[in-house]
C-alpha cells in the first residue's frame, strides 16, 4: 500500500495581484477561450467532473478533469495522472489576488513521459511564474 506524503515535494505556489476585476480574471481561468489565451489550447468547461484535454504541444493532449468550481473564487482540476491545479481568487476592491497551487509532487514518482517529479517540478515552477505574468498581461490588457 502506498503511503501518501512520505516523499511529497512542496506544492508550487504563486500569488499575484492583478489590476483587473475578479470576474474578468475568473473568465480568464474558467473558460476555454480564457485559458487558451494565456495557458494552452483546451476543451475545458467549468463543470465539476468535466473531462477535458490541454494541448501540451510536443507532449500531446494531456487529460484533465475538473474537481471544483466555485465562481468566482476557486477552480481546481486534475492534470495528468498525478497533479492538481487550483486557482484561488480574492476580490481586492477592483483588483484581484490570484493564488495558483500546483500540487501532487512526489520524489518517487515519474511523469507519463518518464521524467522524475524532482526534475519536472523545478521546470514547472519557472513555467508557472512566466504563465502568471502572461495571465496578468491578458487580464490587465
Name the pLDDT band for 58 (thresholds 50, 70, 90).
confident
23: phi then psi, degrees, rounded to nearest 5: -65, -35
pTM for this structure? 0.93
User: Quick one: pLDDT at residue 44?
Assistant: 98
Rounded distance, CA 93 to CA 117, Å? 38
In angstroms, what CA-CA distances link 102 with 87, 127, 129? 9, 11, 12
pLDDT digits (tens, 9 = 90+) for 17-47: 999 999 999 999 999 999 999 999 999 999 9
72-118: per-residue pLDDT in tens? 999 999 999 999 999 999 999 999 999 999 999 999 999 988 999 99
The reported pLDDT for the residue numbered 39 is 97
Amino acid at each position: 500500500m502506498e503511503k501518501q506524503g512520505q516523499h511529497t515535494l512542496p506544492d508550487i505556489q504563486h500569488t499575484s495581484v492583478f489590476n483587473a476585476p475578479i470576474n474578468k480574471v475568473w473568465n480568464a481561468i474558467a473558460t476555454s477561450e480564457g485559458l487558451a489565451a494565456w495557458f494552452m489550447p483546451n476543451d475545458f468547461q467549468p463543470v465539476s467532473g468535466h473531462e477535458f484535454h490541454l494541448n501540451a504541444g510536443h507532449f500531446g493532449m494531456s487529460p484533465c478533469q475538473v474537481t471544483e468550481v466555485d465562481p468566482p473564487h476557486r477552480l481546481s482540476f486534475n492534470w495528468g495522472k498525478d497533479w492538481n491545479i487550483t486557482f484561488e481568487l480574492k476580490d481586492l476592491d477592483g483588483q484581484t489576488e490570484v493564488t495558483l497551487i500546483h500540487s501532487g509532487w512526489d520524489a518517487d514518482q515519474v511523469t507519463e513521459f518518464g521524467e522524475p517529479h524532482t526534475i519536472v517540478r523545478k521546470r514547472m515552477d519557472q513555467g508557472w511564474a512566466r504563465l502568471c505574468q502572461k495571465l496578468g498581461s491578458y487580464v490587465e490588457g
